[in-house]
Homo-oligomer: A and B are copies of this chain.
Amino acid sequence: MSKSIFYHAGCPVCVSAEHDIINLVGAQHVEVVHLGDDRQRIDEAERAGVKSVPALVTPNGNVLHINFGASLVDVRG
């Protein structure tokens, strides 16, 4: 199984959701990307369809937006 990608921006909502997703899916199945630290990946997230963080992009390319934390526009700043 290829990995899901969890995009977040370090906000409390994101950190809480990250823990939940890792518990549910297993750390080995998720790549975690902090868009605040790894700003060159904001474009990649946007192309994948991410509108807000935290969001999980599944191996088949679907985007699950989870518990609204921040819009990607605000992350871009």
Contact = CB atoms under 8 A, between A and B. Distances in A.
Number of copies: 2
Chain A: interface size category: 20 to 34
A64 B66 contact: yes
Q: Which of A24, A29, A60, A67 has the most CB of B within 10 A?
A: A24
Interface string A16-43: 1100110111000100000000000000
A17 B66 contact: no
24 contacts: A4-B24, A16-B62, A17-B64, A20-B58, A20-B60, A20-B62, A20-B64, A21-B64, A23-B58, A23-B59, A23-B60, A24-B24, A24-B25, A24-B29, A24-B56, A24-B58, A25-B25, A63-B67, A64-B66, A64-B67, A65-B66, A65-B67, A65-B68, A66-B66
